[in-house]
Amino acid sequence: MQSPIKVLIVDDSALVRKVMAEILSSDKDIEVIGQARDPIYALDKIKQQKPDVITLDIEMPRMDGVTFLKKLMAENPIPVVICSSLAEQGAKTTLEAMKNGAVEIITKPKLGVKGFLQESVNEVTSAVKAAAGARVRKRKAVSLDLQPKNTADVILSKTITAMTETTEKVIAIGASTGGTQALRNVLSKMPVVSPGIVIVQHMPEKFTTAFAGHLNDISALDVSEAKKGDRVIPGKVLIAPGGKHMLLKRSGAMYHVDVIEGPPVSRHRPSVDVLFRSVARYAGNNAVGCLMTGMGDDGAQGLLEMKQAGAITYAQDEQSSVVFGMPQEAWKRGAARELVALDKIPEVLINACAGKLSKIG
């Protein structure tokens, strides 16, 4: 029998610590081994108790969460889940934390903290389990025991008919745990002449605006959070907004996106499966897809549907993935023609759009 995931909760709010402990302790695969009201206390507890995962507030007294994270990753790397405010400044600070090694985000609202967390049991426990499988500790991902999940059928029915080939290509990318840094690496290397790119990164509502802005700063491409009706054109990258699904649509020879409400699919909103299914339907063999690092299987079925519709499909390899869950599931299903290292993904995507499909060594 596998040992439970040992979690240390770091937050200056006694209420948040109490409710987080109750939620995490309700899962048989998780054990809360300690709590700390600020990073200084946390450092002492880490030495004594050796947690597998830390949940971390980023706005705390004595030492802010980002400074603590930098120190932790330099001296004693442990997977960290950020518990952050929805405020714009909080979102920017959270992205800084993700750049410095945090692997997951859960949201903390301004009001009604206890009620929010009680309604988010799956989000909180899933984030901790995903973090436990992250490569900062090189341990295997913990299996999830959650309620049955929706498929993309609840948003968009499956079709076997895709539109005919055109000269315009579309690149579709999906990612989850570890994806913020992976996407940063990919987009920073994509040329300005790249085909239009649509991306789903599992991320809570409000954080995707700041994330898109950050990617826009480090990329030659024009990156923005998607809005209903935005066109998918060369040199443009659209990031699905947190809390909503993004679908590719086509009018004549022109592509655009739709942004809609709807139930979670594969336990996520936005869902990679939803995006990939829409790409299979409306772009078909005009598309190139890539499923990157992340826990679970969101995107695996969608990538297979893209491949069946004539798209060229890839998945990130195990060595370069923070968590190999999503790419591995795609590979098992035969959805990807090849597993590709992170630093090779930009080249592979551009070559695939140009019809160059030589094997990557």
202 assigned to active site: yes
| Residue that is written with structure tokens 């930009």 in the block | 346
Nearest Cα neighbor of 201 from 104, 122, 123 is 104
- Choosing from 57, 230, 273, 298, the catalytic residue is 298
Q: Residue 61 CA to chain centroid, in angstroms?
A: 29
Token look-up 């336990």 returns: 267
- Element housing 41 (H / E): helix 39-49
Per the rule left: phi > 0, alpha: psi between -120 and 50, beta: everything else, 288 is beta
Query: Which run of H or E residues covers position 170?
Result: strand 170-175
From the list 202, 214, 245, 256, the catalytic residue is 202
Q: Are 345 and 353 in contact (CB under 8 A)?
A: no
Host H or E run for residue 7: strand 5-10
Is residue 126 part of the annotated active site? The answer reads no
Residue 42: count of CB within 10 angstroms of its CB? 25
Closest by CA to 174, choosing from 84, 284, 301, 263, is: 301
> Is the torsion defined by CA of 101, 203, 215, 133 positive or negative?
positive
From 120, 176, 219, 278, the catalytic residue: 176
Which SS3 state, helix, strand or coil, does residue 360 take?
coil
Are 298 and 202 in contact by the 8 Å Cβ rule? The answer is yes
Active site residue 176: yes
Peptide bond into 270 cis (omega under 30): yes
Question: For 176, phi and psi rounded to 5 degrees?
Answer: -140, -120
Indicate left, alpha or beta for 299 from its phi (over 0: left) and psi (-120 to 50: alpha): left
DSSP string, 283-337: TGGGEEEEE-S-SS-TTHHHHHHHHHTT-EEEEE-TTT-SS-HHHHHHHHTT--S
Strand ranges of the sheet holding 80-85, from the earlier edge strand across to the other edge: 30-36, 5-10, 53-57, 80-85, 104-108
- β-strand partners of 105: 82
Q: Which residues are catalytic, by number?
A: 176, 202, 298
